[in-house]
Each structure stands twice: as structure tokens, then as C-alpha cells.
A and B are shown apart, each in its own frame.
Chain A
Amino acid sequence: MTAFISKHRQELRRILAGLLGPAAVLALWSGLARYYHPMILPSPGETWRALVTLWREGSLLGNVAITLRRTVWGYALALLAGFSLAALTKGTAFWRALLRPILAIVQIIPPVVWTILAVIWFGVASQSAPIFLIFMVTLPLSFANTAASLDSIDGRLVEMAQVYRCSRRQIVTQLYLPALLPQLANTVSVGFSFAWKAAIFAEFMGSTSGVGFLLSTANSNLETEKVFAWVLVLIAVMLVCEYGLLLPLKHRAERWWA
């Protein structure tokens, strides 16, 4: 009984400690907001009212959905390409020698260059421009991560399967895949927030829809309280994705393996 209480007390203390940081930020924010013009630092109350206005205007959920869809598309394509390229470089020394430098260069190029190119090539109103940027920015990462997880596969198990004349299909589906899954789940969840930020950036720089575009509109109209409201939305969406979807997925993959 006492153990039960102390366990709950511990849990409670952890939750309170976790809330302490955001609460302090909120207090500091409302304190500072008293001394500044709303155009420079809107108060939490003003931000909340702006959020309600956004909701009433009906542009909130639709634009979040647009940005999310682009994120998922761009990132899914990058994962697929990164994985295929990693599998190729694993197979032959030639492909590795060919691809490694190219991807290293892609990684060095600043995202803004891809945005400029995307707007030139696809146009501002195009759906593909943000997707292109997300793809280019997350490709080197997903390649490097999948290549690392491919390298970590236990070669002695592959030898065993070959001695027993297991088919290639068997080796891929029953050995490679289960060995890769937990790490792939990790890669996906780490890269997703990265892809989300790239999507906002791309929309901010060159697009006519999505959260990033509305952020840039609010910015140029000097509606700082709307900018703050959109930031809250961004945080909320990421938290929901991370804790509602990606973390459970990762735990599931880990449990399945362990």
C-alpha cells in the first residue's frame, strides 16, 4: 500500500516537474508582454484570441492537413529512395563509391537553395515544390540511417541461413526485415519532425497554402499574435504526431523484436 502511494507520488512528482518548464515560460511570457507592444510580443491572452479567430475563419484544420500531407508525401518518398539506395550500396562496392559523394554534396547544400530551385522549376502555387524540398532535405538522413542499420545486421545469422540453403525471399522477409524494423521505426520518428520543419520552411519561402504560407502572411501583415498562434498550432501538431503515433509505433516495433 505504501509502495503504491510512493510510486504514485513519484509519478506525480515527475509530471509536475515536466509541467514546471512550460509554466515558467508562460509566466515569463505574460510578464514580459506587459512591457511590449502586442506587435512585438503579444500576451498569451491575445495569442489565444488569435487562435480562436483562426479557428472561426475555418482555415486552421485545412491548412494543417495540407502541410501534413506534404510532409508525409515528401518524407515517405525520401525514406523509400534512401532505403533503396542504402540497399544498393550495401550490395556492391561500385554503387557505394558512386552514391556516397553525391549524397554528401546533397546534404551540404542549404535548404534555401532547394526552395529557390523548387519555385523556379515547379512554380509557387505547385504542390510539388514543398514536397521536393522535404525530399531533398531528408534523403541524405534516411539514406545514412538505413545504411547504418543494414550494416548492423548480424552477418553470422546470414551465413547460417545460407548454409541451410534458405531462399533469398526467406532471408529478406524473415531475417533482414525483422532485424531492421526497430531501427527503421526509430529512423522514421526522428526524421519526421525534421521533415515537418522542412515543410513549414518550404511553405514559408515559396507556396500559396499550408501553415508555413499562413505564417508568412501573418508576418508580412504584422499580425504578430497570429504568428504566435500558428507556432502553438505547430507545437500541438508535432506533439500529437510524436506521442500519439510515432512513439507507440516505435514501442510496438521494439516489443515485437525483443
Chain B
Amino acid sequence: MKQTVLEFHGVYKEFTSAGGRLQVVEDFSLALAPGEIAALVGPSGCGKTTLLNLAAGILRPTRGRVSVGAGVRLGYVFQEPRLLPWKTVEENIRFVQEGLFPGSRGAALRRQILEQVGLTVFRGAYPRELSGGMKQRVELARALAVQPDLLLLDEPFKSLDGEAKGELQQLLKAAHRQAGFAALLVTHDPDEAVLLADRAVVLSPRPARTLQELDLQASRGRSGWEVAAAIRVLLDQAG
């Protein structure tokens, strides 16, 4: 059997609420090998965050199976920042490191990552003192600070302007080259998928199904914008 970090096997997810039932994920399958990055691209509201929450174990599938490899460590950049308001930037990061790297190793890691995401001067600031983009950076820093085997990224660069976005995309690429984590990246931006992922999974409108999987590695020889254009066409046809 091929080793996987994360596997979705015929997954269905349905929400039941007062308004009735809502089918959000339909027969979704995906296997992610160590070090592999897959992009989930799909129209707004189709169920992308739900897929990440299933991978994180926050949600259970209604039908099918989601399995995460034994001993796989997770990092999750949430769509909306989930920082503890009573902790500073650095304390927020230390909070998730406590069980893993309690001592000076964690401190060194923290310092290095804060430097990389450009938050060194803000390490003593509280979340309410930060802009949306800066909170997003803290989210990313926190996720990297546990040295994850699997990184879940829910539109991690959305509240950043062009320059900062490019800078952090390069940072993520460099961290990936160095640490070799697998990642599931939710994005609206086909160019971002082409830049960062090995594979793009194009999703249908709700309920999310796989419309098409594109191997971006094989297509890297071709120009990136060609592939990005192909993803756009697929999204347009679907939405």
C-alpha cells in the first residue's frame, strides 16, 4: 500500500439544521502523499472549508472515511484568524508548541519563524492591535511553528496586498523545500495554485465533487498562465 498522509475515501458530508438538510460534500476522494501539495479550487460556498475541517478531524463525514496517517502532526491556517485574544503574538505561537517543543528549541524556532513572516517587532502585540493581514501572518507562523507533516491552508493569503502576498507565497515555498510537509491549500486564485501546488483539484459548486484533477508538476514545463487559464475555464463552466 502506498503511504499517505491524508486520505479521503468516498466522503459525503451533510449538515442537518433547523432549515433541513444540506449536502455539502459528495463522493469526494483524495490521497495526499508526504510532501505533496494539493490545491482545492472551487466556487465560493462550495464546501472547501468543510473539506479542511474534515481533514482536521473537527468534522466527521456522514459517509465514507477520512484518515490521517499515524503520528502525522497538523498545522491549520484557518479562514478567519483564531487567535487567543488574551495572548500576545509570541504567546499564541508558544501555546501550540507547549506539548512539542517546550524549552529553548521552541523559542529558537519561534524567533526564526517570526523573523521570516516579518512579525518580530509585533511579537509582544495582542491580536486586537493587528490588522487582518498581520493576523493572517500569525496564523501561518503558528502553523509552521509546530513543524507540521500536514498543513491545512484556508485561503491563507487573502487579506494581504500584492507585494506581501508574493513575499509570503515565496516564504511558504521555501519552508516547504526545507521541511517537506504535505499541504492542502484552499484558494480562489488559479495562479496561486499553479505557483504552489503539485496538483489542483477543481471542485463543483455545492455539494463539492471533484470536477477535474490537474497535474501541475507535469505541466510546469508549459507556461503557468496556460494552466491557470485552464482552471479558470473549468471554474467558469461549473459556476
B window 95-123: CB within 8 A of A: 95-96, 98-99
Contact of A166 among B57, B86, B87, B95 (CB under 8 A): B95
Within 8 Å of chain A (Cβ to Cβ): is B74?
yes
- Chain A nearest CB: distance from B153 CB in Å? 13
In the bound complex, what is the Cα–Cα distance between A157 and B57 (angstroms)?
15
| Cβ contacts under 8 Å, A257 to chain B | 85-86
Which of A159, A162, A166, A167 has the most C-beta atoms of chain B within 10 angstroms of its own C-beta? Answer: A159
| Cβ contacts under 8 Å, A159 to chain B | 58, 82
B window 45-96: CB within 8 A of A: 56-58, 73-76, 78, 82, 84-87, 95-96
- Chain B nearest CB: distance from A98 CB in Å? 26
Within 8 Å of chain A (Cβ to Cβ): is B146?
yes
| Cβ contacts under 8 Å, B85 to chain A | 257
- Chain B nearest CB: distance from A170 CB in Å? 6
A window 150-195: CB within 8 A of B: 156-157, 159-167, 170, 174-175, 178-179
Within 8 Å of chain B (Cβ to Cβ): is A35?
no
Contact of B99 among A165, A175, A178 (CB under 8 A): A165
- For chain B, which range describes its interface: under 10, 10 to 19, 20 to 34, or 35 or more residues? 10 to 19
Find out whether the CB atom of A174 lies under 8 angstroms from the CB atom of B84.
yes
Find out whether the CB atom of A156 lies under 8 angstroms from the CB atom of B84.
no
Within 8 Å of chain B (Cβ to Cβ): is A94?
no
Within 8 Å of chain B (Cβ to Cβ): is A243?
no
- Chain A nearest CB: distance from B184 CB in Å? 13
Q: Is the interface of B mostly helix, strand, loop or mixed?
A: loop
Which of A157, A160, A256 has the most C-beta atoms of chain B within 10 angstroms of its own C-beta? Answer: A160
Find out whether the CB atom of A157 lies under 8 angstroms from the CB atom of B82.
yes
Find out whether the CB atom of B99 lies under 8 angstroms from the CB atom of A167.
yes
Contact of B82 among A156, A167, A174 (CB under 8 A): A156
| Cβ contacts under 8 Å, B84 to chain A | 157, 174-175, 178
Find out whether the CB atom of B95 lies under 8 angstroms from the CB atom of A170.
yes
Find out whether the CB atom of B95 lies under 8 angstroms from the CB atom of A163.
no
Q: Mark A215-238, 1 if CB is under 8 A from B, else 0.
A: 000000000000000000000000
- Chain B nearest CB: distance from A176 CB in Å? 11
| Cβ contacts under 8 Å, B57 to chain A | 162-163
| Cβ contacts under 8 Å, A178 to chain B | 84, 86
| Cβ contacts under 8 Å, B78 to chain A | 156, 160
In the bound complex, what is the Cα–Cα distance between A178 and B58 (angstroms)?
23
Nearest neighbor of A154 in chain B, beta-carbon distance: B82
In the bound complex, what is the Cα–Cα distance between A166 and B58 (angstroms)?
14
Find out whether the CB atom of B82 lies under 8 angstroms from the CB atom of A166.
no
B window 162-192: CB within 8 A of A: none
Nearest neighbor of A256 in chain B, beta-carbon distance: B86
In the bound complex, what is the Cα–Cα distance between A165 and B57 (angstroms)?
11
Contact of B76 among A157, A163, A170 (CB under 8 A): A163
Q: Mark B126-165, 1 if CB is under 8 A from A, else 0.
A: 0010000000000000000010000000000000000000
| Cβ contacts under 8 Å, B99 to chain A | 165-167, 170
Find out whether the CB atom of B82 lies under 8 angstroms from the CB atom of A160.
yes
| Cβ contacts under 8 Å, B74 to chain A | 163-165
In the bound complex, what is the Cα–Cα distance between A134 and B96 (angstroms)?
42
Q: Mark A12-56, 1 if CB is under 8 A from B, else 0.
A: 000000000000000000000000000000000000000000000
Instruction: Identify 17 residue pairs between A and B in the complex whose beta-carbon atoms are under 8 Å apart, listed by A's number.
Output: A156-B78, A156-B82, A157-B84, A159-B58, A161-B96, A162-B58, A163-B56, A164-B74, A164-B75, A164-B146, A165-B73, A166-B95, A166-B96, A166-B99, A170-B95, A175-B84, A256-B86
Given contacts A162-B57, A164-B75, A165-B74, 14 further A-B contacts (CB under 8 A): A156-B78, A159-B82, A160-B82, A163-B56, A163-B76, A164-B95, A164-B146, A165-B99, A166-B96, A166-B99, A174-B95, A175-B84, A178-B84, A178-B86
**A-B residue pairs, 5 tightest by C-beta:** A164-B96, A160-B82, A178-B86, A163-B56, A163-B76
